[in-house]
Amino acid sequence: MYKVKVYVTLKESVLDPQGSAVKNSLHSLSYNEVEDVRIGKYMELTVQDTENLDQRIKEICEKLLANTVIEDYTYEIEEGVAQ
Amino acid sequence: MYKVKVYVTLKESVLDPQGSAVKNSLHSLSYNEVEDVRIGKYMELTVQDTENLDQRIKEICEKLLANTVIEDYTYEIEEGVAQ
């Protein structure tokens, strides 16, 4: 069993209105030290042992989890999760 | 300048309908090896040097970024981001 952590973030060039809203809220709460906020998604997949795991995770990310036109993704595969 | 990475996840005991929907979609795409999906948020904050950074990040998470009734959060502070 593997635990796969997937991080999906907006590409640098893409505006992040949700992040801007959070930044403005932080400033209105007097957290002025926060210069920028970018919001993404974090997904944890519990995956059974399978052939070509790395390749299949890549496919999953590109087909379903990330919109590669505007988003980047990275992932980490952790072995041996006892669940 | 610091880069702070915040991960917000639903507590284990809280149902994750969005994760279930993604899991079902993966199964219908024949990725049957995926046993479970949990969806959370990932946020990157760019923060200026400040006193009590750790304490202030904690406050930010608890006040704004995470709903601590149903969500857990973790964060990592990375030093020296040149942006």
Into which CATH architecture does domain B2-79 fall?
A: 2-Layer Sandwich (3.30)
Paired tokens of A70 = 């505007």
Average pLDDT score over residue span B12-25: 96
* pLDDT bracket for residue B80 (50, 70, 90): confident
Q: Across the interface, which of A8, A19, A35 has its CB nearest the CB of B48?
A: A35
Average pLDDT score over residue span A49-65: 94
Torsion of CA B28, B31, B37, B43, to 10 degrees: -110
Question: Tell me, what DSSP letter sits at residue A30?
Answer: T
Instruction: Kindly state whether A56 is in contact with chain B, defined as any CB-CB distance less than 8 angstroms.
Output: yes
ipTM of predicted assembly, 2 dp: 0.87
Average pLDDT score over residue span B8-28: 96
pLDDT at A80: 75
pLDDT at A81: 61
- What is the percent of chain A with per-residue pLDDT over 70, rounded to a whole number? 96
What's the pLDDT tens digit per position in B40-57? 999 999 999 999 999 999
Mean pLDDT of chain A, nearest integer: 94
* pLDDT bracket for residue A82 (50, 70, 90): low
pLDDT at B81: 61
Closest Cα partner for A61 from B20, B31, B8?
A: B31
Chain B residues whose CB is inside 8 A of the A28 CB are none
Domain residue spans of chain A = 2-79
